[in-house]
Amino acid sequence: QSVLTQPPSASGTSGQRVTISCSGSSSNIGIYTVNWYHQLPGTAPKLLMYANNRRPSGVPDRFSASKSGTSASLAISGLQSEDEADYYCSTWDDSLNGMVFGGGTKLTVL
């Protein structure tokens, strides 16, 4: 059972907009910024979004993220086949005094 809750799966067709949610609590998302990672099949995870809504250099603006209260979400617009991957949210948790991850969401592009 992960500290951060994500839907196990999500899907969309090419060109669509999809969102992935990440639910936490007052000891993590409620007080810390959220980061997102994506993991293409057979590869290492890679930083996708950080500090709630900032994109690292090289990440297309099709990707966006937001945070409200104890929840966060990742949005992907103009869905492409290469977006098919696992997506993870992460932040610090004061109760555990450590980093926590969501269980991951497998995105399928239909």
Partner 1 sequence: QVQLQESGSGLVKPSQTLSLTCAVSGGSISSGGYSWGWIRQPPGKGLEWIGYTYHSGTSFYNPSLKSRVIISLVRPKNQVSLNLSSVTAADTAVYYCVRGADWYRFDSWGQGILAMVSS
CA angle 70/74/75 to nearest 5° reads 140
Contact between 46 and partner 1 by CB under 8 A: the answer reads: yes
Q: Looking at 30, 45, 64, 70, which residue binds partner 1 (CB under 8 A)?
A: 45
Q: Looking at 41, 44, 81, 82, which residue binds partner 1 (CB under 8 A)?
A: 44
Residues 6 or more apart in contact with residue 68 via CB below 8 angstroms:
none
Q: Which residues are bridge partners to 105 per DSSP?
A: 87
Give the footprint of partner 1 on this chain (CB under 8 A). 2, 32-33, 35, 37, 43-47, 50-51, 54, 56, 88, 90-92, 96-104
